[in-house]
Amino acid sequence: MGIAILCGLTAAVLSAVGAALQYVGVQDVGDLTVRRFTRLARNRKWLLGFSVLFVAAVLQILALALAPVTVVAPLAVLSLPIIAAIGVRQVTRGFMVAVMAATCGVGTFVAIAARSAVTTDVPPAVALRAGQVVAGVVCAFVLVGALRSGTARALALAAGAGAAYGLVAVLVRDVATSLPRVPWVSFVGLALAFLVGASLIQLGYASGPADLVVAGQTVLNPIVAAWIGMVLLDETQGAGRGTVVVLVASAVVSLTGIAVLARFHHRRLAALRADHAPAPRTP
């Protein structure tokens, strides 16, 4: 369990660095279209970010092979304060409170889940059911993103990516612990969910700030993964009612922090647009 948590923490740090590099690469390319997606593969900063994220993914897989999903997945949100420090020049008290709420909420979740979670297998029927639920959630967020713009669109796309990555965490654990036998249902679902999540992340970078995109996906990721682990896989079967209440409360605190972050960025971008707006002409 200790090695798994250490790998998860290191992966969170690398995820923040990789996300910051990829965000810069996406901004260099400009507005993303299907044709411009191929230009990302020629951007050095984006490729460096991809390499860092690949190492983070390897560490995440190792952590998931050693510990329950309910414990490992929430550690990803600890990349939030790092990317926030990188992407925000002027840190206000409200911004710090929001970051701490999101981070501490998930930290509490991990600390409690580590004491009660047990490792279980992922039957094909459960993998299919989880995939159906997550697909519905992702489609809902994509629809919201298509109807909105700016920070709202970025946050919706990031949330959709987080839901997809939450499913990825569960299926990665199933594939990693089943080798050399390959569970094809989980393997195919893993590939599809990863491609969808990665695409939504890049679109989110094109619509809003990196720390907001990372915040949205790193909070929804563990919540979805933990829901699958707790409800569908019954990894917290030994937890009492009080423990479950605290776990839910921790998730609510994290989501509240993300909502405050979104509002912070909305106001900041509105102020920047007002500053750069052309002055009205006098008759």
What pLDDT, in 10s, does the model give residues 155-194?
899 999 999 988 988 888 888 878 778 888 888 988 999 9
Banded pLDDT at 207 (limits 50, 70, 90): confident
Q: Which residues of 36-49 are buried (b: 16+ CB within 10 A; e: fewer)?
A: eeebbeebebbebb
SS3 call for 158: helix
Domain range list for the chain: 69-276
Q: Dump pLDDT digits (tens) for 84-133.
A: 666 666 667 777 788 788 778 877 877 777 676 666 677 788 888 888 99
Q: Which residues of 203-217 are buried (b: 16+ CB within 10 A; e: fewer)?
A: bbbbbbbbbbbbbbb
Residue 88 per-residue DSSP state? -
* Rounded Cα distance, 221 and 210, in Å: 16
Whole-number average pLDDT of the chain: 78
* pLDDT, greater one: 85 or 195: 195
Q: Which of 191, 140, 188, 186 is nearest to 163 (CA)?
A: 140
